[in-house]
């Protein structure tokens, strides 16, 4: 989903996070998200101001803001998958339903959108349990992308 953004606060362990999302040129109130590293689906295209306010255990407050642009809100050929176990140590699994047999292209990206792992598997028509060895990844948050046929699917997971 091009309008679904995974926010991640790097280098802020043990702190309170408050995310604020404001649409430029709109009278809509800002949205506040208080969960750590939230996922947000933008309802409209355009420019947004996203700010992260963190409070450390010793009371230090830091604020970081960035403009993001949402160009598309369509979801016609994309899907979300549930990766398990999550968090994961060594092997990660996803279930994938294929309407026809074919190649499944798997890519894993870190929070900076850097490709960390890539492989291709053959899928059969029907339900497929796809396994990915993530032993070589450093601990952190990741997004996995699976491409098959005209579909693009994503799953988010944490490597520990």
User: Which DSSP letter does residue 30 get?
Assistant: P
Tell whether 146 and 127 lie within a shared domain. yes
Range of 51's domain? Answer: 4-70
Tell whether 50 and 106 lie within a shared domain. no
**Residue 43 token pair:** 């309802």
- Residue among 77, 132, 135, 70 at smallest CA distance from 106: 132
Domain C-terminal end among 20, 44, 70? 70
d(CA 93, CA 118): 15
Q: Residue 28 has what pLDDT?
A: 79
The pTM assigned to this predicted structure is 0.55
Residue 56 belongs to domain with CATH number: 2.60.40
Query: Averaged over 1-10, what is the pLDDT?
Result: 79
Q: Is the dihedral angle over the CA atoms 52, 160, 121, 114 positive or is it negative?
A: positive
Q: Which residues pair with 117 in a beta bridge?
A: 108
Q: pLDDT grade, residue 8 (50/70/90)?
A: confident
User: 16-45, pLDDT tens digit by residue?
Assistant: 899 999 998 777 788 999 888 888 888 888
Tell whether 62 and 94 lie within a shared domain. no
> Chain-centre distance of CA 43, in angstroms?
17
Q: Which residues pair with 115 in a beta bridge?
A: 109
Please tell me the total count of domains within the chain: 2
């Amino acid at each position: 989903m091009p309008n679904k953004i995974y926010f991640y606060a790097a280098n802020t362990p043990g702190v309170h996070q408050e995310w604020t999302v404001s649409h430029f040129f709109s009278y809509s109130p800002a949205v506040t998200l208080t969960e750590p590293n939230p996922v947000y689906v933008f309802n409209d295209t355009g420019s947004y101001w996203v700010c992260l306010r963190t409070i450390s255990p010793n009371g230090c407050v830091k604020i970081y803001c960035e403009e993001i642009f949402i160009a598309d809100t369509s979801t016609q050929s994309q899907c979300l998958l549930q990766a398990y176990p999550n968090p994961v140590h060594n092997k990660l699994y996803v279930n994938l339903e294929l309407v026809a047999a074919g190649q499944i292209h798997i890519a894993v990206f870190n929070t900076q959108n850097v490709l960390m792992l890539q492989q291709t598997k053959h899928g059969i028509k029907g339900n497929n349990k796809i396994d990915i060895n993530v032993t070589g990844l450093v601990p952190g948050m990741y997004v996995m992308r699976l491409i098959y046929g005209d579909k693009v699917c994503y799953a988010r997971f944490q490597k520990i």
